């Protein structure tokens, strides 16, 4: 292990101070919206930016990797054409400027992250089409702008690369609706999936059902925390499956099943706590061999102190492979979130312990400043 430790690094302490001063100087909430003369059509644009500082032990446990980069930089737009028809889109260039293993920087071009066309026949029956998130778990459908922790669970989107998806998103269409006075939500869709040689594979099917004991969420994206403003308790489950052809004949099926609980509870004085628990059972089978059979769990909780706009939180996640030859891993993150202006302007500090089987524990420290206007 290197002789210097993150907490003792004067350079990084100065960077943390600079990030804090930067966040305190940022203006309050703002958004830009244009409407037609009759008010029936509107177009709203916004931005999500996350500047991140990071120090993590390298796998050799002798050196540390330091980075200052843009974790996310997104341009967002929402076009309302009528009461029934809306179009949402956003772009991203994740980890822009982060160092690669060879010493170069990640300078990937900006791309379309989400493109969602929604036609609402009624609240009970809506059709979404475009580039959509699949709904295996609650965390899988959360907005990156309202996360409780510094980021999603570390294993939330493990199926993305093997299924040729883009951070949990795939091309397709789904039906979505809210029944029983909005207490019951359903999503059911067909997606592109892994096409295979000559594009002969069956399509990918994914769906979700959630029951809201109270506080239904009837938007496409779920929130991470309301910061003591809204009471919600939901219990949900989702599936993601695709059947694919095998070389030499025959077929196999990729399977991904999830279950989750989300509780967001206001408390007297504007305070509140948020709790989420997700579990995924995944098996790529012989169809997607790069996705071995595994169980992934994520639990996070935080308590919001309204008087000082501070939320201490913890996030625990585990990746448990079925095969003993593969190395299981768990990550425990403790953090502090300073909600300077809610989700529109906040600063998060996080320390993570990374514990992989038959390996030395590694440490990661992150500081992230977020600005969001939409």
> Region 66-90: what's the mean pLDDT?
96
Cα–Cα dist 312/330, whole Å: 20
Average pLDDT over all residues of the chain: 92
Cα–Cα dist 261/222, whole Å: 12
pLDDT value at 162 more than 80: yes
**Does residue 248 fall inside a structural domain?**
yes
**Does residue 1 fall inside a structural domain?**
no
pLDDT value at 247 more than 90: no
**Owner of token pair 């991203």:** 92
**Does residue 184 fall inside a structural domain?**
yes
Cα–Cα dist 103/328, whole Å: 28
pLDDT value at 1 more than 80: no
- DSSP class per residue in 49-77: EEEEEEEEE-TTSS-EEEEEEEEEEEEEE
Cα–Cα dist 56/59, whole Å: 9
Specify the range with the lowest mean pLDDT, choosing from 101-115, 272-286, 313-327: 101-115
- 311 and 337 Cβ atoms separated by less than 8 Å: yes
- What pLDDT shows up at residue 29? 58
- What pLDDT shows up at residue 248? 85
**Does residue 81 fall inside a structural domain?**
no
Q: Dump pLDDT digits (tens) for 86-124.
A: 999 999 999 999 999 898 999 978 999 999 999 999 999
**Does residue 15 fall inside a structural domain?**
yes
- What pLDDT shows up at residue 73? 95
Q: Dump pLDDT digits (tens) for 192-226.
A: 999 998 999 999 999 999 999 999 999 999 999 99
Q: Provide the 3-class DSSP secondary structure of residue 359.
A: coil
- 276 and 148 Cβ atoms separated by less than 8 Å: yes
- 51 and 23 Cβ atoms separated by less than 8 Å: no
Cα–Cα dist 175/113, whole Å: 20
Q: Who has greater pLDDT, 33 or 272?
A: 272
pLDDT value at 31 more than 80: no
Q: Dump pLDDT digits (tens) for 333-358.
A: 999 999 999 999 999 999 999 999 99
**Does residue 88 fall inside a structural domain?**
no
Pairing of strands 310-321, 294-304: antiparallel
pLDDT value at 319 more than 60: yes
Indicate which CATH number applies to the domain containing 219. 2.40.160.10
pLDDT value at 4 more than 70: no
Structural domain boundaries enclosing 235: 6-31+47-72+93-114+126-373
**Does residue 139 fall inside a structural domain?**
yes
Which neighbouring-strand residues pair with 371? 49, 345
Quote the number of domains for the chain.
Answer: 1
pTM, rounded to two decimals: 0.92
pLDDT range class, residue 20, cuts 50, 70, 90: low
**Does residue 37 fall inside a structural domain?**
no
């Amino acid at each position: 292990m290197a002789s210097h430790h993150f907490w003792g690094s004067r350079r990084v302490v100065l960077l943390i101070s600079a990030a804090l001063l930067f966040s305190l100087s940022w203006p309050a909430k703002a958004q830009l919206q244009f409407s037609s003369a009759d008010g029936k059509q509107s177009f709203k644009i916004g931005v999500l930016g996350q500047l991140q500082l990071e120090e993590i032990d390298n796998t050799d446990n002798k050196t540390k990797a330091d980075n200052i980069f843009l974790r996310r930089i997104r341009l967002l737009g929402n076009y309302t054409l009528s009461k029934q028809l809306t179009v949402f889109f956003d772009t991203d260039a994740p980890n822009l400027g982060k160092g690669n293993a060879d010493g170069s920087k990640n300078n990937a071009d900006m791309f379309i992250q989400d493109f969602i066309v929604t036609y609402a026949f009624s609240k009970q029956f809506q059709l979404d089409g475009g580039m959509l998130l699949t709904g295996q778990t609650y965390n899988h459908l959360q907005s990156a702008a309202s996360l409780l922790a510094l980021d999603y669970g570390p294993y939330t989107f493990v199926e993305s690369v093997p299924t040729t998806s883009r951070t949990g998103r795939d091309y397709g269409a789904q039906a979505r609706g809210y029944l029983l006075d909005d207490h019951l939500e359903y999503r059911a869709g067909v997606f592109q999936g892994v096409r295979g040689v000559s594009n002969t594979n069956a399509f990918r099917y994914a769906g979700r059902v959630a029951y809201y004991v109270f506080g239904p969420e009837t938007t496409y994206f779920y929130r991470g925390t309301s910061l003591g403003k809204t009471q919600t308790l939901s219990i949900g489950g989702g599936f993601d499956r695709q059947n694919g052809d095998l070389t030499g004949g025959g077929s196999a099926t990729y399977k991904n099943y999830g279950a989750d609980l989300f509780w967001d509870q206001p408390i007297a004085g504007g305070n509140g706590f948020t709790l989420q628990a997700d579990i995924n059972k995944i098996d790529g089978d012989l169809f997607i061999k790069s996705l071995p059979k595994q169980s992934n769990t994520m639990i996070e909780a935080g308590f919001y102190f309204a008087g000082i706009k501070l939320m201490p939180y913890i996030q625990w996640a585990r990746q448990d492979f079925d095969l003993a030859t593969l190395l299981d891993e768990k990550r425990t993150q403790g953090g502090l979130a300073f909600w300077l202006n809610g989700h529109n302007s906040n600063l998060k500090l996080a320390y993570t312990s990374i514990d992989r089987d038959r390996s030395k524990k590694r440490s990661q420290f992150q500081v992230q400043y977020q600005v969001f206007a939409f």
